[in-house]
A and B are shown apart, each in its own frame.
Chain A
Amino acid sequence: MTEDGGSGAGRRLRQLTLRDRHEALGARFAPFAGWEMPLQYQGIVGEHHAVREGVGVFDVSHLGRALVQGSQAGPLLRSVTTFDVTGLVPGKAHYSLYCNEAGGIDDDVFVYRLAGERWAVVHNASNAEQDFDRLRSVFGDEASEITAETAMLAVQGPDALSLLSTVLGPAVEGLEMRSCVELDWDGGQVMFARTGYTGEDGGECVVGLAQAAALWDALIEGGASPAGLGARDTLRLEAALPLYGNDLDAETSPYDAGLGFAVTLDDGAPFTGRDALVEARGRPRTRRLAHLEARGRGVLRSGYAVHAPEGGDPVARLTSGSFSPSLRLGIGMAYLPVELAKTGARFDVDVRGRMLPVEVVRRPFYRKSRE
C-alpha cells in the first residue's frame, strides 16, 4: 500500500507558537503555505463531527493578520478591496476580495472595523506577504502586520458560543453574526469576531502570544476538541466555501466563483479591478463554480477530470474534492460551462480510471439544521 499524497517542501517551515500544545494532543503535522500545521489529531472524521455536533478549536495562526488605521482608513481599504467596507459600522466585519486589474481574485479576505478608524484584515497564509504589501502600498506606516505577535484560534460548532462566553466573558454571547469586539482578557487583549469557515456558528479569536496558550488551554479544558486542517477542509467544502489556491486564483472572476456578493459596484467608488469587474458583470458568464455530489460510491479529489455523460474530452477539472463525513458521499467543485451546469445535470468524474457519476446540486452541500 502506498500513499499518493505529496511530500513536504525542503524549505524551512514556520512553526506555530502553540506547537507543543498540538504535539501533546497527538497532532500529525503537514506543511501548508510555508507553515507546519496540525493536519489532524485523533482523526479527520471524528474532528469533523465534533465541530458539527459540539465544538472544535482550530489553530489558524498561519493566516495573515494586519491592522490598518488613520482618518482615511475606510476609503483607503475600499480602494484595494471589492466590497464597500466603508459601509461597515464599528464592530462589524465582512468578507471581501483583493482583485487584480484584470478582475481576477488575488485573495479572499475578511475585513473587520474594530473601532473608529481602526481596522483589521485577515489574509490567506499563501498570499499573506503580497497582501500585506498591498496594504502597505496604500497605508504606508499606518499598516502593521501582527501575524508574528499574535495567535489566531477558530472556535466552531453549535456549542462554540456558550464555551466562548464562559471563557472570554458574557460580552461575546450577544454578538450578532459578523460582529467583532476587542476584549481585555488575562492581562492582554483578544480580538473576537463571530466569523468562521466551517458553516457552523462560532467565532475567531486573535490573541497576543503571551495569552495564546492560556486561551487554548481554557478552550480545550472547556470541552473543545482540537481540530486540524484536514477537518477544516472537509467542513469548509461541505459548506461550499471556496479555498484560495484550489477554487480561486488570479485568473478567476468573482462572478464565476459565485462571489458577486463580495463585490460592490453601485457606489461608484474606485478600487483595483473595478473596470474589469464592471465589464465582467455586464457579460454573460461562460462558466460557473458548480457543486457536485457523487451518485455512486467513491471519493472526489481535486484535479480529477469531469466529463459529460456522453463522454469525450473533459469539460473541467475538480478544483476541490473530498469525502463528506456528514453526507457520507463524495463532494467536489468544478468550473463548468454555464449551459451545462444546471442543477440536477449529470456528469462523470474520472476517479483514477473509473467513471463515477455525479450530479450538480445547490450550495451548500451541508446546511446545519436549526432547532
Chain B
Amino acid sequence: MKADYEIPDNLLYTEEHEWLRRDEENPDQATIGITDFAQDNVGDVVYLDLPPEGDSVSAGETCGEIESAKTVSDLYAPVDGVVVATNGDLEDQPELVNDSPYGDGWMIRVRMADAAQLDDLLDASAYRTLIEEH
C-alpha cells in the first residue's frame, strides 16, 4: 500500500472512503467527497453521476456513481440530508477528483437531517487505521 495518503485531521470519514467536512458558518451543512485513498484506488475518474440539488440522501445508501477508466463505484451518503449543492465543475473536469480529492474535487453539499449522525463517522486516526489494514 502507498504509505503517503493524505488524511486531513479536520474531516470525518466513512468505511466506504467518503470524507465529510462540516461547514463552520452553517453547521447543519456538510461537504462530501471521496478520500485520497479512494481516488487512488479507482484511478482516473472520467464521469460522475451525482444527485441534483433537492434530492434526499440517506446515511449508508448509494447516492451517486463514480466512473473511472477502470471501474464503476458507488458513492454512499455518510449522513441523512438534502442536497443543497453539487459540484458542477466535475462535469467537464472529473479529473479534479484525482487532482484534489479534498478541495476542488468535492462532490456534494448536504443539509444534514441529524447532526448526531456525525458521531457514527470515523475520525482521521480511525480512518488511517482502516486503510492501513486494507
Contacts and interface: CB of A to CB of B under 8 A. Distances in A.
* Chains A and B form a bound pair: yes
A5 B43 CA distance: 12
A40 interface: yes
Contacts of B67: 298-299, 323
A1 B44 contact: no
21 contacts: A1-B16, A1-B17, A1-B74, A1-B75, A2-B73, A3-B73, A4-B74, A5-B70, A5-B71, A43-B43, A44-B70, A45-B46, A45-B95, A297-B47, A298-B49, A299-B67, A299-B72, A323-B46, A323-B69, A328-B46, A330-B47
Given A1-B18, A1-B34, A323-B67, A43 B72 contact: no
Interface of A: 1-5, 39-40, 43-46, 48, 230, 234, 297-299, 301, 322-323, 325, 328, 330, 352, 354
Contacts of B46: 45, 299, 323, 325, 328
Interface in B17-51: 17-18, 34, 38, 41-44, 46-47, 49
B69 A230 contact: yes
A1 B44 CA distance: 15
Contacts of A354: 49
Interface in B58-77: 65-76
Given A1-B74, A44-B43, 6 more contacts: A1-B42, A2-B73, A4-B74, A45-B46, A45-B95, A323-B69
Contacts of B72: 4, 299, 301, 352
Interface residues of B, number: 28
Given A4-B73, A325-B69, A352-B65, A46 B16 contact: no
A257 B123 CA distance: 53
Nearest to B14: A1
A251 to B, nearest CB: 27
A3 B41 CA distance: 9
A40 B70 contact: yes
Interface centre among B34, B67, B95 (most CB of A within 10 A): B67
Contacts of A43: 43-44, 69, 98
A44 B18 contact: no
